[in-house]
């Protein structure tokens, strides 16, 4: 069965520091991959997505993610975190022929001054 793992439940970084959030998936073929962000009291906003092609994808708010087939990973990165990036981040996997997305359990990001 397919699964999505976000191994870090909570990460704290200083403002201006770099960020990497980890996501691993389990699936036999190349899935569609997504990162969503949920700010406090808000819904989920799409940050970026990977379907095919260039394995490094750029998203909104200065985020990027890299698909690594050999590691079954799709880690999210940002070179310099801003206080407004504090939120919960969800990795999700879509599979051809499936009807829904499979979500990881989320990583909560805290940004300290």
Partner 1 sequence: DADVTQTPRNRITKTGKRIMLECSQTKGHDRMYWYRQDPGLGLQLIYYSFDVKDINKGEISDGYSVSRQAQAKFSLSLESAIPNQTALYFCATRENSGDTQYFGPGTRLTVL
Which positions touch partner 1 (CB under 8 A)?
A: 4, 9, 32, 34, 36, 42-46, 49, 51, 90, 94, 99-101, 103-106
Q: How far is the CB of 34 from partner 1 (least distance, A)?
A: 7
Q: If you count them, how many residues does the chain have? A: 113
Q: How far is the CB of 70 from partner 1 (least distance, A)?
A: 23
User: Closest by alpha carbon to 89, among 72, 100, 73, 103?
Assistant: 103
Q: Which is nearer to partner 1, 11 or 15 (CB)?
A: 11
Q: Show Cβ contacts of residue 61 under 8 Å, excluding neighbours closer than 6 positions.
A: 37, 47, 78, 85
Q: Which is nearer to partner 1, 70 or 99 (CB)?
A: 99
Q: How far is the CB of 14 from partner 1 (least distance, A)?
A: 25
Strand boundaries in 51-106, DSSP class E: 56-58, 64-68, 73-78, 87-94, 101-103
Q: How far apart are CA 66 and CA 89, in angstroms?
A: 16
Q: Which is nearer to partner 1, 78 or 106 (CB)?
A: 106
Q: With contact defined as beta carbons under 8 Å apart, do 13 and 19 qualify? A: yes
Q: How far is the CB of 11 from partner 1 (least distance, A)?
A: 15
Q: Which is nearer to partner 1, 19 or 95 (CB)?
A: 95
């Amino acid at each position: 069965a397919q699964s999505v793992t976000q191994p870090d439940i909570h990460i704290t970084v200083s403002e201006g520091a770099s960020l990497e959030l980890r996501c691993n998936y389990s699936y036999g073929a190349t899935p569609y991959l997504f990162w969503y962000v949920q700010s406090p009291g808000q819904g989920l906003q799409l940050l970026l997505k990977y379907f095919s092609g260039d394995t490094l994808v750029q998203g909104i708010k200065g985020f990027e993610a890299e698909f690594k087939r050999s590691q079954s990973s799709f880690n999210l990165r940002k070179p310099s975190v801003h206080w407004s990036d504090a939120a919960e981040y969800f990795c999700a996997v879509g599979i051809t022929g499936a009807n829904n997305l499979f979500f990881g359990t989320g990583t909560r990001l805290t940004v300290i001054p």
